[in-house]
Amino acid sequence: MIVMKFGGTSVESAAAMERVAGIVAARLDRQPVVVVSAMGKTTNRLLAIAAEACNGEREEASRLLAELAAYTLGEAAGLGEDAFIEAHFQELSAFLDELAEIGELPDQYVDLISSYGERLSSRIVAAAFRKAGLDAVHVDAREVIVTDRRHTQAAPLYSRSYAKLEARVRPLALAGKVVVMGGFIGSTQDGFTTTLGRGGSDFSASIVGAGIGAEEIQIWTDVDGMLTCDPRILPGGHRVKMISFAEAAELAYFGAKVLHPATVVPAIEKNIPVLILNSRNPESEGTRIVAERVACGNAVKSIACKRNIVVVNIQSLRMLMAHGFLKRIFDVFDRFQTPVDMVTTSEVSVSLTIDNSMHLEEICSELRKIADVTVDDSSSLICLVGDNIRETSGLGARVFGALRAINVRMIAQGASLLNLSLVVADADLRAAVEALHAEFFSTLDERVFEA
């Protein structure tokens, strides 16, 4: 039994859904359970419509809702789901009336309204599969994914969800049915609709895989899996055939867009491999993410980057030999709910990077009460990931040798020992990644990389 998850672009049109049906049909012997995202940009569109209604733009909201309904009905034409789709858009319209009255957007409504994306797409994809000759059945994900009440960021209640998945979904798959479910959505024990957070369909796929005891979880996207460098920064990277969960999570935290970091949790616990595959190139083997370490002749498996981060430098001579400096600094970031990505420190100075600069001004003015503060907002973070990093000697020399022409502003070997992170000026990012990529990937261990 396997789980196959398809994202929004994979199900955005009738033609895309037909392609997906073909991919699933070719894997029926593995008893697939299919998890889908909302069609195309539906989630964003629903949230924008809800925002219009709250802001007193009820007519604009109606117009946008009618557009979304027309798109959905158009792509689902001939599948026999028109009545279902229309009824759902009527429900949505009634919610918009309520929102217009309330004048704000409570989190319960965010979940309720955004859930329609996956509720519709999963029904439509199941129908498209049947039209393509598959024996497909729809299961409402809210009946099997049980969560806590934290609307918009709900956490699954694992044992309850697993029990339901085992009782409801596994028997259908064993009987040869292709179950189609929506990702992203769930419900509380008392039946309120919740969501697992934006991009949560990968997470759903992983929960479903763990619950039905799948042998593999396949995440179908539109890239050939993970690469040795971020293609948006430097094209021409090599495909990574195999990588450990720990390395993949590290890459995801540091900007690789391929995988939602939380995805790995249920899969790691049950030791189920996760595959990243390309629905536009189904023959490619993609990237296999496994629980154990992956032996590799290369020191580094991949280079991730985050552009446009902010470096905050904090210095206080008064803190020489004093204690509590770090605590006071981090209290400020905590108070403004701003995550810190990377930290380097010496006795009297601390440099750290943040990705979210929404409260930067308030943070700086608080910090200036205890220290001198400078801010540099034209930096990029580069992160070398690989579990050989912890035991490769001379790695630092290779990094600095490769970057000899570039000013490195901060450097840290991550506490996980899997990563070495550097900060450079935005303007140097591409050259730095190019130099590092040439240094670490000029020869490739072919067990791990596709040459």
Does 8 bind ligand ASP (CB under 6 A)? Our answer is yes
Residue 266's binding partner out of Mg ion, ligand ASP, none, with CB under 5 to 8 Å set by partner kind? none
Q: Are 314 and 410 in contact (CB under 8 A)?
A: no
In whole angstroms, how close is the CB of 5 to ligand ASP at the nearest point? 9
Q: Which residue from 10, 31, 37, 188 is in contact with ligand ASP, where contact means CB under 6 A?
A: 37
Binding mask 365-404 for Mg ion (x = CB under 5 A): ----------------------------------------
Angle between helices 58-75 and 42-54 (to 10 degrees): 160
Q: How many CB atoms lie within 10 A of CB 123?
A: 21
Reading phi first (left if > 0) and then psi (alpha if -120 to 50, else beta), residue 255 is in: left
Does 32 bind ligand ASP (CB under 6 A)? Our answer is no
The stretch near ligand ASP (CB under 6 A) out of 49-57, 196-204, 357-365, 423-431 is 196-204
Q: Are 83 and 75 in contact (CB under 8 A)?
A: no
Does 211 bind ligand ASP (CB under 6 A)? Our answer is no
Nearer to ligand ASP, 199 or 286 (CB): 199
The stretch near ligand ASP (CB under 6 A) out of 36-44, 63-71, 281-289, 346-354 is 36-44
Type of residue numbered 5: K
Q: In what order do the strands lie in the sheet with 193-195?
A: 146-147, 185-188, 193-195
3-state SS class at 33: strand
**Phi–psi pair at 151, nearest 5 degrees:** -55, 140
In whole angstroms, how close is the CB of 248 to Mg ion at the nearest point? 15
Q: Which residue from 10, 31, 43, 379 is in contact with ligand ASP, where contact means CB under 6 A?
A: 43
Q: What whole-number distance in Å separates Cα of residue 146 and Cα of residue 151?
A: 12
The stretch near Mg ion (CB under 5 A) out of 71-79, 197-205, 229-237, 421-429 is 197-205
Q: Footprint of ligand ASP on residues 111-130 (CB under 6 A)?
A: 117
In this structure, the strands spanning 340-345 and 349-354 are: antiparallel
Residues touching ligand ASP: how many (CB under 6 A)?
Answer: 12
CB within 8 A of 396, min separation 6: which ones? 420
Q: Which residue from 117, 199, 225, 286 is in contact with Mg ion, where contact means CB under 5 A?
A: 199
Does 40 bind Mg ion (CB under 5 A)? Our answer is no
In whole angstroms, how close is the CB of 306 to ligand ASP at the nearest point? 20
DSSP 8-state class, residue 104: S
Q: Which residue from 156, 186, 200, 386 is in contact with ligand ASP, where contact means CB under 6 A?
A: 200
Residue 117's binding partner out of ligand ASP, Mg ion, none, with CB under 5 to 8 Å set by partner kind? ligand ASP
In whole angstroms, how close is the CB of 125 to Mg ion at the nearest point? 16
Nearer to ligand ASP, 42 or 161 (CB): 42
Type of residue numbered 66: A
Name the one residue in this structure whose structure tokens are 């390395």: 247
In whole angstroms, how close is the CB of 145 to ligand ASP at the nearest point? 13
3-state SS class at 423: strand
Q: Which residue from 7, 183, 209, 286 is in contact with Mg ion, where contact means CB under 5 A?
A: 7
H-type alpha helices, 134-263: 158-174, 201-212, 245-253
76, 195, 222, 279 from 16: Cα distances, Å: 11, 25, 12, 9
Q: What whole-number distance in Å separates Cα of residue 40 and Cα of residue 92?
A: 18
Nearer to ligand ASP, 262 or 410 (CB): 262
Does 89 bind ligand ASP (CB under 6 A)? Our answer is no
Residues binding Mg ion (CB under 5 A): 7, 199
